[in-house]
Structure 1
Amino acid sequence: MNRRELTLGVAAAAVAGAASAQTVPAQLAQANAVNSPYYAAYNDQIGRLPQGVQADVRAFYELNGWRPVWNADRLRKLNDASNRAERHGLARSDFFDFVGLAADPDSADVRTTGAAMGYAKVLANGRVRPESVEELWEMQKNVVDLPGGLNDAMVQNKVVEWFEGLAPTDIGYSNLSAGYVRYRRIIRNGGWPRFRAGASIEPGSSDTRVPIIITRLVAEGDMSEADGARLTAQGLVYGPELETAVRSFQARHGLAPDGRIGAGTQSSLGASAEDRARQIALNLERRRWLKRELSPERIEVNTAAAIMVYWKDGRPVHSNRVVCGAPATQTPSLEKPFASVVANPPWYVPAGIARREILPRGPAYLASQNMYVQNGTVIQRAGPTAALGYVKFELRDSYAIFLHDTPSKAAFNLSTRQRSHGCVRVQNAVEFARILLSPDPTLLSQFDTAQQTRETKRIQTGREISVRLLYWTAFVDGQGRVAFREDIYRRDQVLAEALGIAVSLPTVVDDGARVANDVGP
C-alpha cells in the first residue's frame, strides 16, 4: 500500500466510524518507516547511541520520514552552533567530533543527529539531574520539545539560533557566560601566580607576596594594568591603593572588606584561575536546570551568598542580607509560592530541635525563653525575644522552610551567615514586610496595627509571589563583576564529581562563633 492509499484508507475508516488504536499521524509515520530504505539501518544505529538521546533521535527521524537530513549547509550551521559551546562552560569535544562522524558515511547521519540532540539536551536541561546531586531539590524544570524544535529549525534555516535559544537567555546567565569566557581567556594568558598562605598582611606592612597579589588583582579586574605596573615598581609595601583593590576583591568574595589579608582572604586568593572557571561552569549548569520563564515579581535567596533580592516588574528593587541553613542543616533548593505574612508569630518548635536543644535544658530554660509544652509540642510565645521575631513570611507546602525575622541581629554583620536550622532569617524583616504589603494600603494598615498592638495576625498578600531558594557560588554582581562564594554546602564538589570535573576550591573560613542561645529555625 502506498502513502496515498493508506491516507484514503484511514479517512474511509474514520467516516465509517471504525475506531483505530493509532492516530492518522502515527499511521503516516509507520508508512514512512515501511517505505524508507533507511528505516532498518537507522533503527539499528539509534540503538547504539547513548540511551538518553535515543527516544528523541527516533522521534526526530519519524518527523523526517526516516530520511537523511544532514546536508553540507546544515552541517556547517551545526558546526557554527557547536563552536559556541565554550560560552556555556562546555567543551565542544564532549559532543562533536565531525572528523569521526564523517569516517563512516553509512552511520554519519544518525550519529550526527545523536550528537546534536545530546548537545541540545545539555543546553536545555543540563548534563545531570539536579535530584541526583542535591538532597532536596524541588524547583520548576525547563521543558522543551527537542525533536520538534530541531526539525523546525532545519526547515526555517535557523539551526544556530535554535541552539542558542535553548540555554537561558536572562541577564544573569548571559553575564555569567561572558564571565566564563573571560576566565578561560585569563587561563590561556597564563592565569595568575600561586598564592601561598602565611601570616596576615596588614595595611602599611611589607610582604614578599605583594607582587603576586597585584598580579591577581589585575587579572580579575580589581585593579587596572597601569596601576598594577606602577605599584609593582614601588616594591613590597602594602599601601593604600593596593588596599582599595583588596577591599574590592574581598567584597566580590563575600568577605569583610576590611583591607586585612587574613585567613579568609588568603583562602580565596589561593584559588587558581582554572578552579574559578570551573566553578563558573558548575553554576551555569545549575541555571540550565531551571525553567526559563521567570515571574516578574519574585523573591530570590542565594543561600551560598546569604543574600535575598526582591524583584518587581522584572527588576531587582530591594535586597537584604539573610541568615540561612548551617552546613549540617542546609537550606534546600526550593521554589514555592509566597502565601502570607504573619505579624508577631509564635514558634511551633520542630520536634528534632525540641528534642536535641530545648527539652534537655529543663523547665527553667523553657520558662526563660517564654516557651511551654502543649500536646507534646514546644511552643514559644510571640514577643521581642521570640525566635521568629516580629514577622514570618509563610511559603506554601515548603517542608517547614520559611522566611522570618529574628532577635539575633548580630549574625547579619558576619561574612559567613549560614547558621540557621534551615529557614531563612531576613535582615530588616519588618521593613521588607511593609514593602510587600504596600501595594494594598488596607493590608499594610492591618500589618502596622498588629505591630503596634503586638497582636498575632495572618495577612494574605492577595497575589502570587514566587520564592526561589537557590545555591549560586558564582554570579555577576551589580557592578558587572563575577562574584564568588566558597562552597559551604559542598554542592559544587558533588556536582563536579557527577560531571567528571576536577576542581579544588578554597575551604570556608568562618568569621564568627554561633550566637549564644540561638535556637531559632
Structure 2
Amino acid sequence: MLSPPFSHAPLRLLRPLAVAAALLAACPGYAANAAPPALADSGAEQTAIQSLLAGQDGVLKIDGELLDADALRQLYRPHHWQPLWGDQADSLMEILGAADQEGLQPSRFHLRAIARRRADGADAQTRAEAELLLTDGVLRYASAMRGQRVDPRSIEDDWFLVPAPFDARPFVAGHIKDIVPALQSLQPPYAGYQLLRRQLAYLRAVAAAGGWPKVPPGPTLKPGAVDPRIPAVRRRLMATGELTADQPVTPVYDADLQAAVRLFQQRHGLADDAELGRRTVAVMNVSPRELAQQVVVNMERWRWLPPHLESNHIVVNVPAAWLEVVENGKAVLSMKTVVGDPKHPTPALHAQLRSLVINPTWHVPSSIATKEILPKLKKDPTYLLANDLEIVSDSFPPGSPESQGIGIDWSSRTTFPWSLRQSPGSDNALGHIKFNIPNQEDIYLHDTPNHRAFSRASRDLSHGCVRLENPDALALYLLRDKDWTQARLNQEVQQGGTHTISVSKAVPVWLFYWTMWVDADGVLQTRDDIYGRDHRLEAALARPPSAKVEIVPKTSTQPQKVICEGCRIP
C-alpha cells in the first residue's frame, strides 16, 4: 500500500527523472543517457537551420509539430544559425520529459519528434530539425512554467490576479550557456507549490497501482450500525491514513471508525457528522486520477502569483472560506469566513487594507432592494422600520413615515426606485466593523449579525463580500500599535457613532482560490469547486497548443466589473 507523502520530507527542485526516462524509452531509438551522433559537418547543420527558418512564415511545421518560427529566428539569427545546445541537449530532454512532474504535458514539447530525429540524426537536415524542435520545446516549457498558458481573464469574468507577462524568448536567449539551472529556477518559489507537486507524484503512483478501494452505494450509515459495506469503508480510510492499518476489518461502525470518518470529512470540507451519507461516500469514491488533475489545476494558479508575496499580508482562500493573517511566512491569526454564493462569487483580487469603520452604515445595493426587500415590503409595509432601514430621497424628509416605507403603495411596484441605507446597530448587515480594501469591485471584509453560518462546513452564502468570524481580533491586530484593547473597542461600538480609523501601515489583502492545498501536518486538503473555476481552467489547459509561444498580454479586455452586493438581509 502506498503511503501519503509527509510534509517534512526533503523538497528538491529537480526530482529523479524516472518518468521522463520511461517516456523517452518508448520513443524508438532513444536512450536517455546516449549522446546524439557525432556532428560530422556542423556547417551543414548551420545551413540547414538557416534554410528551415528562411522566409517570413510565422509558423514552422516539422513532423506534424507546430513551431514558432518567429521566436526561433530571434534566437538563432544573432548566433548566425549555429546549433545552441551542444552537450546540454540531453539534460534539456530530461527536463522536458519530466514536465509532468510540474503538472505540464510533456507531449506539448515535441519529445517524440525530437527523439526520432536524434536516433536517426546522421544527416544535417535531421539534426537541424531536432535542434529546432528542442528549442521550441524549451521556449514553450519556460512559458508554461511562468503561467503563460492561460490568461485567467479569458475564462473568468471576475479574476483580477493576472500573471505578469513573461516572454520566454529573451529569457532563453540570456541563458544559452546555463539553460538547465535557468529552467529549474522557473518553479514558483512557494512551499505550497512544492507540496502539491509531491502530492501529484503520490496520487499518480496510487492511480498506477490501481487506485483506492471503492465504497458501494447504499443508505446512510450511522455510528453503531452493522453493515456489509463497513469493511469497504475501513479499507478505503486505511488507504489514505484516516484509519490505522492495524484496525480489524469488521462490519461494525465503531468509535474508531467514527473518528476516522470525521477526519476524512474535515479534510474534504464536508459536514463532520460522522454519517456515511451519499455525499461522503461519493467523495470517498473520487479516484486518485481525478484528484491528481485537481492538483494540476491548483499548481497552475500558483504560477499566476508574483515571484514573492509581501512579508506581512492577509489571505482569504475562498473555497475554504478561511482567512489567515501572515507575518514573515507564519499565520499569526486565522478565522472562518463566509464568502459569495455561486450566483455572487467572491472575485480573486489583490488590494490594500487601509482603514476600518466602526458601526458602519450599509448602503443597500439596488439589486438587493428590488429582489429581496421589495417582496418583503409587499407583505409587511413596516419591514423597513423593523430592520432600521431608511429610504434616502429628497422627496422624503429623514425620519418621516415615508422614509420608513409607511404610507407607500408597494403592491404595484416592480423595482425599488430609491436609495436605501441601514443605520448602524446590532441588526446592520455589516455588523459592527467593516474593513476597507479599496478596489474597483467594491469588495470588503466585514462583521455580520448572523454568526450561525460559521458553524456550517459550507459557507458560500454571501453576495460577494467576505464576512468574518472574529472581526474584533482582526481589528485589534490592525490597531495593535495604537493601544487599542477589547474594552476600548467594545466602548466604541456601544457608543453607536460611526468612526473610520486608518491603520498605521496598509496591509496587503489577497482573495484567492485554492480547492487543494497541503496543510501544516502534510495532509492534502480538498474543497468543492464552488464557482466552477477548476472546471473552466482544466478545459482551457486541455485546448490544443497555440502555434506561437504563449505570453499573457499586458493589456486585454478587463473582467466585467463585479459589485459587491453586501450581505443577505438578516
Q: TM-score, normalised by structure 2?
A: 0.76
Structure 1 contact 179–482 (Cα < 8 Å) conserved: yes
Offset at residue 206 of structure 1 (A): 1.8
Structure 2 contact 148–166 (Cα < 8 Å) conserved: no
Equivalent residue for 1:263?
Answer: 278
Q: Residues of 2 paired with 1:391 and 1:63: CA distance?
A: 61
Q: What one-letter code is carried by the residue in structure 1 that aligns with 2:516?
A: A
Q: Residues of 1 paired with 2:513 and 2:52: CA distance?
A: 45
Q: Would you tell me which structure has more helix in proportion to its own residues?
A: 1
Q: What one-letter code is carried by the residue in structure 1 that aligns with 2:495?
A: T
Cα RMSD over matched residues? 2.6
1:246 to 248, 251, 261: 261
Deviation by residue 1:245-272 (Cα, 9 ceiling, x = unmatched): 2222111101232322123312311311
Offset at residue 292 of structure 1 (A): 1.9
Of 383-392 and 306-315, more deviation after overlay is shown by 306-315
Equivalent residue for 1:366?
Answer: 384
Equivalent residue for 1:21?
Answer: none
The 3 A distance-change label for structure 1 pair 317 and 403 is same
Equivalent residue for 2:351?
Answer: 336
Q: What one-letter code is carried by the residue in structure 2 that aligns with 1:317?
A: V
The 3 A distance-change label for structure 1 pair 347 and 215 is same
1:74 to 43, 64, 88: 88
Of 141-150 and 197-206, more deviation after overlay is shown by 141-150
Equivalent residue runs for 1:261-300 within 5 Å: 261-300=276-315
The 3 A distance-change label for structure 1 pair 310 and 53 is farther
Question: Given the alignment of the two structures, is residue 305 of structure 1 paired with residue 354 of structure 2, yes or no?
Answer: no
Equivalent residue for 1:48?
Answer: 60
Deviation by residue 1:460-510 (Cα, 9 ceiling, x = unmatched): 113221111111111112211111112221122222222239xxxxxxxxx
Q: Residues of 2 paired with 1:140 and 1:437: CA distance?
A: 31
Could you tell me which runs of 5 or more consecutive residues in structure 2 were left unpaired when the two chains were aligned: 1-45, 121-125, 394-417, 544-566
Structure 1 contact 57–117 (Cα < 8 Å) conserved: no
Offset at residue 459 of structure 1 (A): 1.1
Offset at residue 40 of structure 1 (A): 5.2
Equivalent residue runs for 1:91-106 within 5 Å: 91-95=105-109, 96-97=111-112, 98-100=114-116, 102=118, 104-106=126-128
Offset at residue 433 of structure 1 (A): 1.3
Q: Residues of 2 paired with 1:440 and 1:61: CA distance?
A: 61
Bigger RCO (CA 8 Å, 6+ sep):
2
Deviation by residue 1:356-382 (Cα, 9 ceiling, x = unmatched): 111332241111110111143110111
Structure 2 contact 446–467 (Cα < 8 Å) conserved: yes
Q: What one-letter code is carried by the residue in structure 1 that aligns with 2:225?
A: S
Equivalent residue for 1:191?
Answer: 211
Equivalent residue for 1:133?
Answer: 155
Deviation by residue 1:48-67 (Cα, 9 ceiling, x = unmatched): 26889555444433554442
Offset at residue 446 of structure 1 (A): 7.8
Q: TM-score, normalised by structure 1?
A: 0.83
Could you tell me which runs of 5 or more consecutive residues in structure 1 were left unpaired when the two chains were aligned: 1-35, 502-517
Question: Given the alignment of the two structures, is residue 182 of structure 1 paired with residue 202 of structure 2, yes or no?
Answer: yes
Equivalent residue for 1:86?
Answer: 100
The 3 A distance-change label for structure 1 pair 51 and 352 is farther
Equivalent residue for 1:321?
Answer: 336
Equivalent residue for 1:25?
Answer: none
Structure 1 contact 142–292 (Cα < 8 Å) conserved: no
Structure 1 contact 298–310 (Cα < 8 Å) conserved: yes
1:433 to 475, 481, 496: 475
Q: Residues of 2 paired with 1:171 and 1:118: CA distance?
A: 24
Q: What one-letter code is carried by the residue in structure 1 that aligns with 2:238?
A: V
Q: What one-letter code is carried by the residue in structure 2 that aligns with 1:191?
A: G
Equivalent residue for 1:109?
Answer: 131
Deviation by residue 1:316-354 (Cα, 9 ceiling, x = unmatched): 111111010111111111112222111111101111111
Structure 2 contact 152–162 (Cα < 8 Å) conserved: no
The 3 A distance-change label for structure 1 pair 274 and 114 is same
Q: Residues of 1 paired with 2:263 and 2:540: CA distance?
A: 33
1:490 to 532, 540, 564: 532
Give percent identity, aligned residues only: 32
Q: What secondary structure is seen at the aligned counterpart in 2 of 1:439?
A: helix
Question: Given the alignment of the two structures, is residue 231 of structure 1 paired with residue 243 of structure 2, yes or no?
Answer: no
Q: Residues of 2 paired with 1:202 and 1:92: CA distance?
A: 46
The 3 A distance-change label for structure 1 pair 144 and 258 is same
Offset at residue 182 of structure 1 (A): 0.9
Q: Residues of 2 paired with 1:52 and 1:360: CA distance?
A: 60
The 3 A distance-change label for structure 1 pair 440 and 82 is farther
Structure 2 contact 315–325 (Cα < 8 Å) conserved: yes
Offset at residue 443 of structure 1 (A): 10
Q: Residues of 2 paired with 1:90 and 1:245: CA distance?
A: 34
Q: What one-letter code is carried by the residue in structure 1 that aligns with 2:476?
A: R
The 3 A distance-change label for structure 1 pair 51 and 289 is farther
Offset at residue 46 of structure 1 (A): 5.8
Of 297-306 and 144-153, more deviation after overlay is shown by 144-153
Q: Residues of 2 paired with 1:84 and 1:406: CA distance?
A: 49
